[in-house]
Amino acid sequence: MKRDSSSLLIGNKYFKSRLLVGTGKYENKSIMNECLIKSKCEVVTVAIRRIKSLNSSDKGLMESIDWQRLWMLPNTAGCTNSDEAIRIAKMGRELAKISGQEDNNFIKLEVIPDQRYLLPDPFGTLEAAEKLVKEGFVVLPYINADPLLAKRLEEVGCASVMPLGSAIGTAQGILNESNIRIIIENSKVPVIVDAGIGVPSDAAKAMEIGADAVLINSAIALAKDPKSMAEAMYQGVEAGHKAFLAGRLQKRVEANPSSPTVGISDSPFELKNNGK
C-alpha cells in the first residue's frame, strides 16, 4: 500500500487525522469531548452495547458527540462469537444512520471469547468478516498480530486490519513489532495498530514502522490529565508518521563520524596560516 499520502483512506472515505480515539472509560462526557478536540481525531469508536436509547431522558453518549464533525466507528465489543458480532454490527449500522450518517457502513469487528487476556478469536473474526463484507459493511477487524490472518482478512474484502500492539488496556506498548512489520509490508489496506498503546512514544513507534494509523482509548481516558495526553498522542502520531516518510538513518554496528573525514588538516598551525 502507498503510505506517503497526506490522507488516510479507509474504504472510500478519506481522513486527515491518523489518530482514532475511543469513547469509553472517561470520567465524564465533558472530559471525553475535550479530549476528542485535543486529539484532533476524526474517527471515534462507539461500543454499541454501551449506547442508551436516543429517546432516553438521560443525555447519552450519542447525543453528547457532534456527529457532523466526527465519523462514527461502531464496534462489536463484548461479542464472543461470530453470530453475535454480526447481529451487533447491524445494530451499529442503524445507529450510525440515526446519528445522521446515512452512508456510514463502518464496523470495527471484535470477537473476543477470552475474558482473561481479551485476545481476539481468529476463526470467529474471519467468519464474521466474510459475512459482513458480503452485506456491504466496511469492516475493520481487530486481530492478534498474525500476518497470515491479516492477509486472509484483506483477501475477503476487509477495508483495514487492526493488529494489537499488546493486550487491551495493558499499556505495554508495541510487543509484536516484528509481526506488525510483516503485516504492514504485505498489506494493501490500511494497518491500524489497536490496543496496548500507553504513551505517545508507543504511538510514534507504531507510525515509525509504517502503520497507517493508531487507535487509542485507555491511555487517554485513564491518564492523570486526559486532555494533555490526548494532545500528546496526536503529536506522537504526527511525529512518527513524518519520521516514517522522512526515512530513518539505518542502524549499523560500527560508529560513523558525523564530521567529514576528507581534507582535514593535521596541524592547527596549517589551519591558522590558511586563514591569512
108 is catalytic: yes
Sign of CA pseudo-dihedral 237, 238, 241, 242 = negative
The residues with which 44 forms a beta bridge, in sequence order, are 21, 72
Q: Which residue type sits at 143?
A: I
Which residue out of 108, 134, 188, 242 is catalytically annotated? 108
What residues have CB less than 8 Å from 251, skipping those under 6 apart?
Answer: none
Reduced to 3 DSSP states, what percent helix, strand and coil does the chain have, rounded to the nearest 5?
40, 15, 45
**If 0-12 CB within 10 Å is exposed, 13-18 middle and 19+ buried, where does residue 268 land?**
exposed
β-bridge pairing 192-194 and 43-47 = unpaired
Strand order in the sheet with 192-194: 162-163, 138-143, 106-109, 71-75, 43-47, 19-22, 213-216, 192-194
Residue 193 sits at φ, ψ, to 5 deg, of -75, 125
Distance CA 248, CA 239 (A): 12
Q: Which residue type sits at 6?
A: S
Task: Give me the active site residues, please.
Answer: 108
